[in-house]
Amino acid sequence: MKRTLILLFFAISSMVMMAQTDKEVNLGEVVVNGARVINKVDGQQIYPTAQQKEKSTSGYSLLNKLALPNIRIDETMHTIASTNNLGDVQVRINDIVASKADLLALDMKAIEHIDYIKNPGVRYGQDIAFVINIVTKRAVSGYVVGTDLTQNLTARSGYYDAYSRWNRGKNEFSLDYNFGYHDFNGVRDESVYNYLLEDNTIYTKTVTDTYHQYKGHSHDIQLRYNRADSDRYVLQMTLSGDIERAPSNRTEQNIFLNGDTYNAMRKEKDNTSSPVLDLYYYAKLGSHQSFTANAVGTYIYSDYSYYYDEMGKNYQYGAKGDSYSLTSEDIYENRLKPFTFSAGLRYLQKYLSNEYSGDVNTATSERTSDLYVFAQIKGHLAKLNYVVGAGMSRLYYRQATDSYSYWLAHPKLTLSYPLFGGIHVKYDFGISQHPPRPEYLSNVSVRTDEMKINAGNPNLKPNRRTEHQFIISYQNKRLNTSIETFYRINSHPSMMDITRTADGFIFKRTNQKACNLLYFQNNTSYDLIPDKLTATVTGGMYRCFNYGDTYKHLYTSYNGSVQLMAYLGKFTLQAYADNGYRWLEGENKGHQGGAYYLTATYKLGDMDISLYWQHCLQNNPLTSSAELLNRYVTSTYTSHNKDFGNMLTLNFTWHLSRGRKYADIKRELNNKDKDTGILK
């Protein structure tokens, strides 16, 4: 697989030098005549073909057909994730964060284009590597109702969505509901641990699952009102509620130690519920100015418990917690003739408290506030397009007697330039902060087995993240290819540190020297038969640099994927394969299992029926593996899941739209906090 992807990488890249160029039209950005992709200073503007929109059943389905670089879309599980581990993917509709129901209810006829933004900056939130913004027209009349029903045929899992939209003049009402469940028992983990004790002897233990139940269900409901006057304002109010229940997950294990076999059992319960109130207001100020305000209030109740019976010893604790957060954002924009000026602020205030019981009998509370202020100009000088910006952030944290206030400047520079014959170059530079997760800051320590103690560290500080990105791309009517170089410098990042004591090994995070990443990647999409058959190939080399307080680890990996998409009348066929992402962060080397699947969709009027075959011809696929390289503790870990082997999933989509007429852009909003802060 690796050799094939590397050969395809060089073969298709060489096509760039032989491809016949088409006439170029300069509209301030690079536009290739007949192409559906426009290279912009902050990413790409993509115009889906009529064929792609006609054959798509939802936003997930359409985005999957676009084969966006570094993005993996699972239509079955309704997930969108990055394949290079650089951060999260944020999906928006008309520049506002979209929910799953929004993507399922998306009307293909209303879509104008899609903005794909790489390395978007802090304005979109922390740890956001890619932003996908779907730009649509606003409905002014009619209604749309629909369902999206997904049922695994070979495993106990299903997701059932229902959505509705009613429009009348300036008003839109929507109601969405989702129910999902899973009950997997095919997961089998195996771990081998080697502990170097204080007397310099090695304690070796092998743990193998004999039974693993992963069971849970969820309910999501969302009610929304939107009022829009296209010449003046948009007002939107959203009330939503989420309930997730994992009441009884159980794992039975065999432990092999010094030639003997012991039994062990682990039980976990994890329940959360969260109401969210989301308010949004957008106003036009004259002909070329606008103001946007957004406020999101989130409450989370969490209830977690852990029990482990290992060789006659019990380890157990529970935690119940409450979390309150308010996120607000205000943005001013002025579209001047030489450039567009924008400025704004983003503010987060969060409070959480967790009460632990059992082996850990304590209570914790944390307060966090995060303020980010920015300003930027975006424009062009002749053919040179640019974004120049600056920001300042202040992160404040307090827990008991521990507190800090962290300030950081955020410069931002993006340059893009069209060379000749469809070739385009882009450079991006930015500095941002990366705060530790709330659970890493806890002052609680919990013992999970005879050797391991998980501990928080209230003294953790945010780290500075510096990123450089250079992209050269080429496109014509049928070919779109790019070569990307990316370098990330994490200064004093939060990385795992293991301390050896007579009572066990303490696992906690500390700020250490550096954790850097360099990668080279090619992404090529080619229309083998226009509007009928498209092939997409991605291949890359990743180099990880980890400099801890007591170690230096370097690692190189090769990652790639292949996708074929065919449109045959009422059928849409897709084949996809990748070798899984591999990385090394600190002392943890990981491998995400490869993905292989085939998809067939048949369109019948307002209905679509799809069949997914995942992990083809694999009865017990590898889902993940890991290796720990610490001086005191080394371990290997593998996880297989029979439930995913040769998994067949049936999807039924019904989308009924009547009396729909469209005006200009509508604003939609869905944003919420998910961090409970519980140490697990």
Per residue in 116-128, pLDDT (tens digit) is 988 776 567 667 8
- The whole-number average pLDDT for the span 174-202 is 94
Answer whether residue 361 shows pLDDT above 60: yes
Please report, for residues 97, 144, 437, 679, the alpha-carbon distance to residue 102 in angstroms, rounded to integers and kept in the order given.
Answer: 9, 12, 28, 32
Higher model confidence: residue 666 or residue 273? 273
| pLDDT in the model for residue 11 | 36
Give residue 368's pLDDT: 93
In this predicted structure, what is the pLDDT of residue 76? 67
E-strand stretches of 137-259: 138-152, 157-168, 171-184, 187-196, 202-229, 233-257
pLDDT at 679: 60
Helix, strand or coil, per DSSP, at residue 493: coil
Find how far residue 500's CA is from the centre of its chain: 35
Burial of 281 (0-12, 13-18, 19+ CB in 10 A): middle
pLDDT band at 248 (very low <50, low <70, confident <90, very high): confident
pLDDT at 215: 93
> Tell me, what's the pLDDT at 102?
86
How far apart (Å, rounded) are the C-alpha atoms in residues 654 and 286? Answer: 42
Looking at residue 420, its pLDDT comes to 85
Calculate what percentage of the chain has a pLDDT beyond 90. Answer: 61
pLDDT at 212: 93
CA distance 96 to 408: 26
The whole-number average pLDDT for the span 286-297 is 92
Q: Residue 365 pLDDT more than 50?
A: yes
pTM of the entire predicted model:
0.84
Model confidence at 21: pLDDT above 70: no
pLDDT tens, position by position, 66-99: 878 778 787 767 788 877 667 788 899 888 788 8
Position 357 pLDDT exceeds 80:
yes
Residue 273 has pLDDT above 90, yes or no: yes
Instruction: Compute the mean pLDDT over every residue in the chain, rounded to the nearest whole number.
Output: 87
> What average pLDDT does range 379-408 have in this prediction?
90
CA-closest candidate to residue 364, choices 296, 435, 300, 457: 457
Query: Which pLDDT score is estimated for 677?
Result: 60
pLDDT at position 296: 95
Which of 17-21, 344-348, 558-562, 658-662 shows the lowest mean pLDDT across its residues?
17-21
Q: Do 234 and 227 meet the contact criterion of CB atoms below 8 Å apart?
A: yes
List all residues 6 or more positions away from 529 whose beta carbon is below 8 Å from its beta carbon. Answer: none
Residue 666 vs residue 371, higher pLDDT: 371
Averaged pLDDT for residues 607-618: 91
pLDDT at 7: 37
- CA–CA distance, 576 with 192 (Å, rounded to integer): 33
- pLDDT tens, position by position, 220-232: 999 999 998 877 8
**pLDDT (0 to 100) of residue 61:** 84
Confidence of residue 25 (pLDDT cuts 50, 70, 90): very low
Q: Is the pLDDT of residue 297 over 50?
A: yes
pLDDT confidence bin for 26, thresholds 50/70/90: very low
* % of the chain with per-residue pLDDT over 70: 90
Q: Where are the domains of the chain?
A: 2-663
pLDDT at 42: 78
**pLDDT of residue 665 exceeding 60:** no
Q: What was the pLDDT predicted at 662?
A: 65
Residue 604 has pLDDT above 60, yes or no: yes
Q: Sheet with 494-501: list strands edge to edge.
A: 445-447, 452-455, 504-511, 494-501
pLDDT of residue 672: 55
Give the three-class secondary structure for 171: strand
d(CA 438, CA 206): 32
Check residues 334 and 475 and name the one with the higher pLDDT. 334
Label residue 678 by pLDDT band (50, 70, 90).
low
Q: If you average pLDDT over residues 195-213, what whole number do you get? A: 94
CATH of 2-663, one of 3.40.50.300, 3.40.50.150, 2.40.170.20, 1.10.1030.10: 2.40.170.20
Is residue 239's pLDDT more than 70?
yes
Q: What is the model's pLDDT at position 676?
A: 60
Whether 500 has a pLDDT exceeding 80, the answer reads: yes
| pLDDT tens, position by position, 614-660 | 999 999 999 999 999 999 999 999 999 999 999 999 999 888 887 76
What pLDDT score does 573 carry?
Answer: 93
Confidence of residue 101 (pLDDT cuts 50, 70, 90): confident
Comparing 54 with 300, the larger pLDDT belongs to 300
Reduced DSSP (H G I as helix, E B as strand, rest coil) percent helix, strand, coil of the chain, to 5: 5, 70, 25
Residue 27 has pLDDT above 70, yes or no: no
Q: How far apart are the first and last CA of the chain?
A: 37
